[in-house]
Structure 1
Amino acid sequence: MTTHAPTPISATKRSFTAALCLSAAMLMGGSALAAGSSDTDAERLERWRDIAKSIFGDRTIEPTDALIKVDAPPRALDASLVPITLMMPEKDRIAAVHLIIDDNPSPYAAHITFGPAADPSEVKLRVRINNYTNVHAVAETKDGKLYEAVKFVKASGGCSAPMGMSDEEALKGAGDMKMKFAEGGQGKPTEATLMVRHPNFSGMQMNQVTRDYTPARYINKLDVSSNGTLVFSMNGDISIASNPVINFALAPDAKGPIKVVATDNQQGRWEHSFNTPTPSN
């Protein structure tokens, strides 16, 4: 298997992201018109090329309608909680997936690497979308090739949407986790839903009491393992919605307790274990 490491979501980038988010919030000034709503297809394509080069360098990315698909609402009901489904029909070929929201202040939303205990056929998560934008999903195959799918979503202001509570209230119970399982049956994948309590402050949200911008604080890594074997590892950024919810599937032969380790960009760390259901016929 050939491995290719993408440009990491580094500490330097995170500092830049916080500054960029604050500038974007100030520039928005409550404008109802999404900044990207009038962009042409050519402008969007040029922006995507720049983003892809910054993440993947000179590697070739081929379009596909078979290896990965993106399902998202054409118009978001809530720009701060946009459901995204990544479907990978040829799951045995997939090593990782990259989620990029082109017009967000920090476009590289998530990088998910699958382990031996995963069934990578489908992943669901919720994101923030700040402008009318293309959402790109790039599948990385086990032989190191890249394939992209894209979906256009109309949304505005998701990164700056307030929490509706004080920062202190939003941080209460940070790191608490729950996991639900849907019984897959003998020899079938087990679907799981991981819920993590964390405000995932974007750096663009204004504290409704102090009128200052809340510093960015968000989960930057999730590691999920089954009996010591990796299910998936996800590096995230400010585009992941508050109180992250991740739907994924365990391989049919994955056995034993599920361990989840979450960290955030301010040295927060939390670890929880969950018992998996016993398969039935």
Structure 2
Amino acid sequence: MGRTILTAAILTASLALPLHGAQDNPLIDGPTWEDLRYDVVGEAEIAPAGDLFTLNAPYRAEDAATVPIHIVQAPDAPPIETATLVIDENPAPVAGEFTFGPAMAPLDFELRVRVNQYSNVRFIAETPEGLRMDGAFVKASGGCSAPAGKDPETALAEMGRMKLRLFGDEVPAAMSTPRREAQIMIRHPNYSGLQRDQITQLMIPAHFIDHLEVWQGDEMLFSMEGGISISENPAFRFVYSDNGTEALTVKARDTDGNNFEQTLPKVEG
């Protein structure tokens, strides 16, 4: 089955399957989360996500610097408005704090992250039923210190360029509003502060996108407060309810105070 539900038959079949635990690498017990928990959510109670949503990630990552994380809900699941993505064993465990607009519900959202050593990756969402969490254990190492894909001069020259890809209209049986699948890609080295310049062997200072917004007209789709765990050249793939605007607008800011904004026409391909 693809990323999204294409026919009523597949929709019906998918509703019969439990979301939680669908992956083969569920969260494992470990002391790190107990040390982090208060800093992330304070004393708030957290329950398992159950059937509200699921996080899927590879058990063994092909590239620790670009590990795909996919969060998905069933079509009738209540909306998620805010959520936090945590990678327990990373130097800065909070990878991102997200706010999702109504058009993103039900959530079908994917991004790429760095994983520095074998770690639980967890998605903690604020739901009408309180905080809920799902996650996966990912075998990867060295993601935060992996060499950048491009030399610093080239990376800086291309910094801030954006691209939008759309993957066509979809109208699942349970929804009357057209749902579209899109991908936003942003050129930025997103230096973690743990990488070395391959020529000088000096440490490259941290320099990453710390704020991102994606809009369709005057309606915000999602925003992110990001950290060093978001991959180089950040990419976000998501499904949303199209309100008919002709373009998506992306606004980003990095830790050096650079602001980037681009309006991207909706063009298939």
Give TM-score scaled by structure 1 length.
0.79
Letter in 2 for 1:208: Q
Matched, 1:182 2:167: yes
Contact 2:246/2:265 (8 A) holds in 1? yes
Aligned match for 1:136, one of 114, 118, 122:
122
| Unpaired segments ≥5 residues, structure 1 | 1-40
Aligned match for 2:218, one of 223, 228, 233:
228
> SS state of the match for residue 202, structure 1?
coil
Aligned length: 235
Larger deviation, residues 61-70 vs 224-233: 61-70
Aligned match for 1:94, one of 74, 80, 83:
80
> SS state of the match for residue 39, structure 2?
helix
Letter in 1 for 2:134: A
Write out per-residue CA displacement over residues 124-183 of structure 1, whole angstroms, 9 at most, x where no aligned residue: 011100000001111111x37110012000001000000144222222210000001111
> SS state of the match for residue 199, structure 1?
coil
CA shift, 1:256, in A, is: 4.1
Aligned match for 1:68, one of 53, 61, 68:
53
> Counterpart of 1:255?
245
* Residues 169 and 139 of structure 1, relative CA distance in 2, 3 Å threshold: same
Distance in 1 (CA, whole Å) between partners of 2:250 and 2:242 is 19
Contact 2:79/2:102 (8 A) holds in 1? no
Matched, 1:103 2:89: yes
Distance in 2 (CA, whole Å) between partners of 1:138 and 1:165 is 33
Matches within 5 A, 1:1-281: 44=30, 46-89=31-74, 90-141=76-127, 143=128, 145-185=130-170, 187-253=177-243, 255-276=245-266
Distance in 2 (CA, whole Å) between partners of 1:170 and 1:256 is 30
Give TM-score scaled by structure 2 length.
0.82
Larger deviation, residues 129-138 vs 87-96: 87-96
* Residues 239 and 195 of structure 1, relative CA distance in 2, 3 Å threshold: same
> SS state of the match for residue 92, structure 1?
coil
> Counterpart of 1:15?
none
C-alpha RMSD of the superposition: 1.8
Distance in 2 (CA, whole Å) between partners of 1:111 and 1:77 is 25
Letter in 1 for 2:63: D
Percent sequence identity over aligned pairs: 38
Contact 1:115/1:231 (8 A) holds in 2? yes
* Residues 144 and 185 of structure 1, relative CA distance in 2, 3 Å threshold: closer
CA shift, 1:277, in A, is: 5.6
CA shift, 1:68, in A, is: 1.9
> SS state of the match for residue 94, structure 1?
coil
Distance in 1 (CA, whole Å) between partners of 2:129 and 2:78 is 13
> SS state of the match for residue 52, structure 2?
coil
Distance in 1 (CA, whole Å) between partners of 2:162 and 2:144 is 23
Write out per-residue CA displacement over residues 158-215 of structure 1, whole angstroms, 9 at most, x where no aligned residue: 0000014422222221000000111124632111100000000000000111111000
Contact 1:181/1:193 (8 A) holds in 2? yes
> Counterpart of 1:6?
none
**Counting helix residues as a fraction of each chain, which structure ranks higher?**
1
Contact 1:222/1:260 (8 A) holds in 2? yes
Distance in 1 (CA, whole Å) between partners of 2:48 and 2:215 is 31
Contact 2:56/2:135 (8 A) holds in 1? no
Write out per-residue CA displacement over residues 47-78 of structure 1, whole angstroms, 9 at most, x where no aligned residue: 21222210111111111231121111100111
Contact 1:114/1:120 (8 A) holds in 2? no
